[in-house]
Structure 1
Amino acid sequence: MNTLKWLESWFMQNCDGEWEHNNGIKVLTLDNPGWLIEIDLEGTDCEEKFFKDFRVENSDEDWIYCKVRDNKFLGYGSVNNLTDILEVFKKWVK
């Protein structure tokens, strides 16, 4: 299953009639340019799961930084690394 289909499935598994009204997934752009992924973990199986900050800095055009803060998975990355950010989340969840 590709990463985007997996994320759709993960989101659907957490929709219970309430969670999706106050929580969810945000995909935003950064001005450097790049991406910000914010995934609410409250009420999911990942809510209390440990995540070690993850950083890859290959170049100014190839980097990602992922962390969990305040019950949110936060992934930042350069313009060509959106899938890589989602892969970090997917591997952590599994």
Structure 2
Amino acid sequence: MEQSETELMLKGYGLTTANFFYHMPDHAHVLNTFIWQDYDIAPDHPRLFKFIEFWQEEIEGPLHSVSFTHRKMIRPGEWRQVVGEFRLN
């Protein structure tokens, strides 16, 4: 069963954005770029490294470099459980 984004964020996952620079298979002197995003856990980044392994095994364009950023969307001070809600007309 796949977890929702909110469940992942509450478990400590943050949004990881990676920018891949790779050589075009037919034109080795040309660099192209690919953007990848997923929820991942820092500092190990298992999903990012799994995708990099997939790229190296399955995609013909050899990687030149990868840069990435990671940001937790929910921090401990920003989350609180709401017990009730009142609506005023």
Considering the TM-score relative to the shorter chain, is it more than 0.5? no
What's the TM-score once normalised by structure 2's chain length? 0.29
Larger radius of gyration: 2
TM superposition score normalised by structure 1:
0.28
Question: Which protein is richer in helix relative to its size?
Answer: 1
